Structure 1
Amino acid sequence: MDIVSPMMSTLLAAAVQLSGLPGMPAGELPPVLMLPRSELNNTVCPSAPVRCAGLTAAFDTQRYRIVMDDRLNLNDAYDASFLVHEMVHVLQFRSTGSIGFTSCEAVIESERQAYAVQNAYLREHDQVANEGAMLKFSHCPAKQEDR
């Protein structure tokens, strides 16, 4: 599914404004691939698709693409918020490279920022939601020197 460029530009502008991350030309955004749920789960978690059962979208840093559930209606603010979330990850990736996605701590911080932006986007569109609430229960294993 091709997502209309003006929509991509609008959602990118929201991601930049709400995150404070450096912007980028909309033409340099990764392609967005809309997939059926089962294919999305197999694409993101090929060795254990069940781990991705609740997944709606993901930014694939290795292939530089965003994959999303094809049931999303991107004309709906709630559904579009998932693309805004993934665009934050794209901006993070362009800003810091893969280092922001390699350690447990970096991944949690990356998700905190993306969920904060997603929730701010939803509030701007009069949507009551608290995406990422479970993130507060995420912890990284203690490092050897911390034990």
Structure 2
Amino acid sequence: MVTESVMVSLMIAASRLSGLPAIPADQMAAVKSISQEEIITMQCPTEPDECSGMVAFYDIPKNTIFLKNTLDLDSTRDLSFLLHEMVHVLQYKKFGDTIFSDCDNTVRSEKLAYAVQNKFLLNNGLFDRFGDSLAYMTCSDVQDAKQGNIKIEPILVK
């Protein structure tokens, strides 16, 4: 799937682009390829439409990055999703569970991961961008207590 040298290279890139400290190879997350159905079952079982565009996520308790099995990791674009999740690994190693403890922290964590992903793509000559809609979103007044299940809405609603 993903070689150790690719993982180390991505971790170094994630560290360099995010400003977060690098971690030893033995602390890096495992990577597992799963189907879209498994992503939905694991992340959004009661609201499957919420996961329709999800291609990767970092499971903190399992220290595992789950990637959609249709990603082509020989493609820089698709590899950028793994890099995005590596940023979450580095965030967790530095800040602990607080990175996803509430909506504001989750949005802040996602904004950094998307910024790193977009810099990586640009540095590799690609103009794809991800996560731009977060700039126009805010945390909803009503939140689900389940960690990681945040509710955001357009800023104009507030």
**TM-score scaled to structure 1, two decimals?**
0.91
Structure 2: which amino acid aligns with 1:14?
Answer: A
- CA deviation vs aligned residue, 1:44-92 (integer Å, no higher than 9, x gap): 2223222111101001112221111011111111000000000000000
Give the gaps of 5 or more residues in structure 1: none
- CA deviation vs aligned residue, 1:77-125 (integer Å, no higher than 9, x gap): 1000000000000000010000111111100100010000000000111
Aligned CA-pair RMSD: 1.4
Aligned to 1:125: 124
Task: Work out whether 1:80 is the aligned partner of 2:79.
Answer: yes
- Number of residue-to-residue matches in the alignment: 142
Aligned to 1:106: 105
Task: Work out whether 1:40 is the aligned partner of 2:60.
Answer: no
SS in 1 for 2:61: coil
Segment of structure 1 superposing worse, 44-53 or 67-76 = 44-53
Displacement over 3 Å in runs of 4+: none
| CA shift for structure 1 position 10 | 0.8
Q: Distance in 2 between matches of 1:36 and 1:14?
A: 27
- CA deviation vs aligned residue, 1:2-26 (integer Å, no higher than 9, x gap): 4210111111111000000011012
Q: Distance in 1 between matches of 2:14 and 2:22?
A: 9
Q: Distance in 2 between matches of 1:136 and 1:79?
A: 23
% same residue: 35
Structure with bigger RCO (C-alpha 8 Å, 6+ apart): 1
Aligned to 2:60: 61
**TM-score scaled to structure 2, two decimals?**
0.85
Aligned to 2:133: 134
